Structure 1
Amino acid sequence: MLNIQSIHHVAILTDNYEVCKHFYTAILGFEIIEETYRAERQSYKLDLSVNGKYQIELFSFPDYRERGSYPEAKGLRHLAFAVPDVDTSAAYLQSMQVEVQPVRIDALTGKKFVFFMDPNGQPLELYEM
């Protein structure tokens, strides 16, 4: 048995590093742990802290490929973040010119959730705790 303790990080690849860096830091509020430019790869790696508990790695590669199909492609479908109030959080995102889908109710839990996209079109979700 592996004895996995938690998720260490989620990696996201972008084709516009500066726009995504701004989105994840200035809009979503994640703190920068470390930013590295790797000249041999012509790419950035930005390590972000999510509430001091989780980590997102933001990568830029000049030879990225678009997703084969969307959103039902195999692999990561979306990334969800827990928030105390979905309505307030969705209103904040809209005030930052982030397009937000209508708030929905999870039929299984009765909790509110809402989807939006990062600048790459990566589906993100806010889920009310």
Structure 2
Amino acid sequence: MLKLNKVHHVAIICSNYEVSKHFYTQKLGLPILHEMYREERQSYKLDLLVGETTQIELFSFPDPPQRVQYPEARGLRHLAFEVDDVVKAAEELEREEIEVEPVRIDPVTGKKYTFFKDPDGLPLELYEA
């Protein structure tokens, strides 16, 4: 049986590189590991660190197609970030003028969670540790 150790990275394609870079680094506070422009693809690639080991790869490509939002389509549904305090984290996002859904309770785990979106409408979740 295949043994998977952990999720190493999640790749995101954005429509406006500078706007998304600002969102993930300045509003969410993710540190930059590496940034490069790939001339042959006319694409930026930005590696961001989440926690101690997980990464987000942020890509820009010329004219990427829009993501299907609703009704929900197959594929990645959302990206969830673990936080110590969902209410506090949501308040921090709201101070950055990021709209956050009301905090809810997971009926299975009893943990708090909420959703917000990145500049391209990608659903992001905060889930309490």
TM-score category by the smaller chain? over 0.9
Give the match for residue 23 of structure 2: 23
Offset of residue 40 of structure 1: 1.6
Give the match for residue 103 of structure 1: 103
C-alpha contact (below 8 Å) 1:113/1:128 kept by paired residues: yes
Give the match for residue 68 of structure 1: 68
What amino acid is aligned across from residue 47 of structure 2 in structure 1? D
Residues of 2 paired with 1:110 and 1:49: CA distance?
Answer: 28
Give the match for residue 12 of structure 1: 12
C-alpha distance after superposition, 1:17-62 (max 9, x if no partner)? 0111011111111110100101121110000011221000000000
TM-score by length of 2: 0.95
Aligned residue pairs total 129
Give the match for residue 94 of structure 2: 94
Offset of residue 4 of structure 1: 1.8
C-alpha contact (below 8 Å) 1:78/1:125 kept by paired residues: yes
C-alpha contact (below 8 Å) 2:15/2:63 kept by paired residues: no
Runs of at least 4 residues of structure 1 off by over 4 A?
none
TM-score by length of 1: 0.95
Residues of 2 paired with 1:71 and 1:29: CA distance?
Answer: 31
What amino acid is aligned across from residue 77 of structure 1 in structure 2? R
Offset of residue 63 of structure 1: 3.0
RMSD: 1.1
Residues of 2 paired with 1:69 and 1:22: CA distance?
Answer: 23
- Structure 1, unaligned runs of 5 or more: none
